[in-house]
Amino acid sequence: MTDSPGWAAPGSPSDGQGSDADRPAAQPSGTAPDGGTAPAQGTGAGSAPGSADGKWSATQPPPGHWSSPAPGQTPPPAAPPAPQPQAPGWGTGTGTGSPYQYPGGWGSTPPAAKPGVIPLSPLGLGEILDGSVGILRGHWRSVLTVSLVVAALSQIALLLVQRAWLGSLPVADDTLTPSQALDVMGNAALFYGFQYFLEILGLVLVTALLAPVVSRAVLGQASTVSGTLKAAGPLAPRLTALIGMLLLGAVGAVVLPLLPGILTGSPVLTALGIPFGIVLLAWFYVTFALAPPALMLERGSAVAALKRSAKLVKGAWWRIFGISLLTWVIRVITAMVITAPFAGLALLLSPEGLSGLLDGTAALSWTFLVISAIGGIVGSTVTVPMQTGVTTLLYIDQRIRREALDLELARAAGLDGYGTTTAERPGG
C-alpha cells in the first residue's frame, strides 16, 4: 500500500510477479509430506490387499457358475442397488449446512466481493454504468461540488464567447455575399470547435479531480470535498501539463487532415479531410482517455500517464470506445431533458418572445443567454460525473483484467481470504 489515494504501483503477473518460483516443489513418488517414506503400493496387475506375492488370496470365494438361460426361460430381474448414504449438501444441492457448496450447485464460482460500488472482478457494461450512478448517489456532495464549479466556469466562458460571436453575425434580412457566407461558416466552425474543446477540458478536469472519490467509493469508504482537493493539490502542475498535452493533441488530430486543403486553399480538399479528422480525433480520445485517472491514482508524470493509458487501452480499444460512446449518448439525452425547461423559460422571458426566436434576435438577448447558461450548468453538473465515473471505472476494470488489481483492492478494503486465480480472468 502507498500513501496515494490509489493503490499499489502498477504491476502485472506477466511482468514477473507470481512466477513458478513461489510454488512448492513437487514431492517425489514414495515420499510422505513430512519427509518419511510413504507406504509401498502394489505394482502388479493382480495385486490385492492381503497378498504378499501379488497373487489372489487363497481364501477367495469360488467363481460363480454362469450359464445361458434355457429357451423360453426369462432370467430373474436383478436386485436394485442399495441406496448409499449421502452427506447433506453434496452433489444434489438438496441438503443444507454444507460450507462447500455455492449457490448454483457444483461448478459455479463464488460471487466476487463487493466492498463498494462495484464487485472486485472484471466488470461488464451494466456493472460499470451502475457503479457510476452509485458513485453519484453515494458521494453526491463531493461529486456535485466539483462538477458544479467546473460546469459554472465552462458555461461562463462559453456564454461570453457566444455573445461576442452572435453579435458579429450579419442581420438575417441582409443578403450575404459568398465571402460573407464563407466568413460566417468559418466563425461558426471556430465557435463550435471552441465549445467542443471546452467540453473536453471540463471532462478531463472533472475526471482527474473525481478519481480519488471513485477510488474510495470502490473500497466502500466515504469522501469529502476537502479530502478530494487535498489529494489533487500536489498534482496540480502535472495535471495542467496533462490537460495541455491532451488539448494540443486533440487540436492536432483535427487540424492535421485539414492542413493540405488549408495550405492549397481548396475547399473540396478541406471538406474531404473532415471525416479523417473525426476518425483521428476519436482514436486519440479513446487511446488517452484513461490518462487522467492514471495520473491521479498512480501519481506519475503527465507523459507516464499518457503511456499508461495507451498500454491499458491496447487490445480493448473497441470495447472502451463502445462503452464511452454509449455513455456519451445517455449523457447528452439526459442533459437535453434537463435543459429543455430552462430553454422554454428563457424563450418566455426573452423580450423578443417567439418572433425573436424565428428571426434569431432572441439569441442576442442577455436574458435568453443567461437562463440558457443556467440550464447548461445544471445539466452538466448532473450528467458529466456519469461520464467521468465510467472513464475511471474503465481504468480500474482494465487493471483488474491485466494486473489483478482486485487483489490489491481487496487488501485495501480489509477483506480476508480473498483471491482470484489468473486463469479465471478473461483477457483485457
Give the C-alpha distances (Å, rounded to integers) separating 284 from 107, 247, 263, 279, 310: 42, 11, 24, 9, 10
> What pLDDT was estimated at residue 119?
93
Q: How many CA atoms lie within 13 A of 342 on its CB side?
A: 18
Cell reading at 304: 507516464
Say how far residue 372 (Cα) sits from the centre of its chain.
Answer: 32
> What whole-number distance in Å separates Cα of residue 387 and Cα of residue 308?
20
Mean pLDDT, the chain, rounded, equals 76
Q: Is the pLDDT of residue 71 over 60?
A: no
Three-state DSSP class for residue 31? strand
Q: What pTM did the predictor assign?
A: 0.71
Where in the chain are the domains? 131-424
Cell reading at 287: 487511446
> Helical H runs in 288-365?
291-298, 302-313, 317-349, 353-359
pLDDT tens digits, 356-379: 665 566 667 788 889 989 999 999
Return the percentage of the chain with pLDDT > 90, whole number: 43
| pLDDT higher at 15 or 140 | 140
> What whole-number distance in Å separates Cα of residue 264 and Cα of residue 272?
13
Is residue 234 very low, low, confident or very high in pLDDT (cuts 50, 70, 90)? very high
Average pLDDT for 202-212: 93
Q: Is the pLDDT of residue 22 over 50?
A: no
Give the C-alpha distances (Å, rounded to integers) separating 292 from 59, 79, 135: 81, 73, 18
> What pLDDT was estimated at residue 80?
55
Query: Quick one: which of 354, 361, 353 has its CA closest to 172?
Result: 361
Q: Is the pLDDT of residue 237 over 80?
A: yes
Q: Is the pLDDT of residue 133 over 60?
A: yes
> What pLDDT was estimated at residue 109?
60
Average pLDDT for 63-85: 51
Q: Is the pLDDT of residue 346 over 70?
A: yes
Average pLDDT for 273-284: 92
> What pLDDT was estimated at residue 361?
64
Is residue 72 very low, low, confident or very high in pLDDT (cuts 50, 70, 90)? low
| pLDDT higher at 24 or 237 | 237
> Hunting for cell 462559453 — which residue is that?
158
Using a 10 angstrom Cβ sphere, with 0-12 exposed, 13-18 middle and 19 or more buried, the burial of residue 47 is middle
pLDDT tens digits, 138-182: 999 999 999 999 999 999 999 888 888 776 666 555 566 777 677
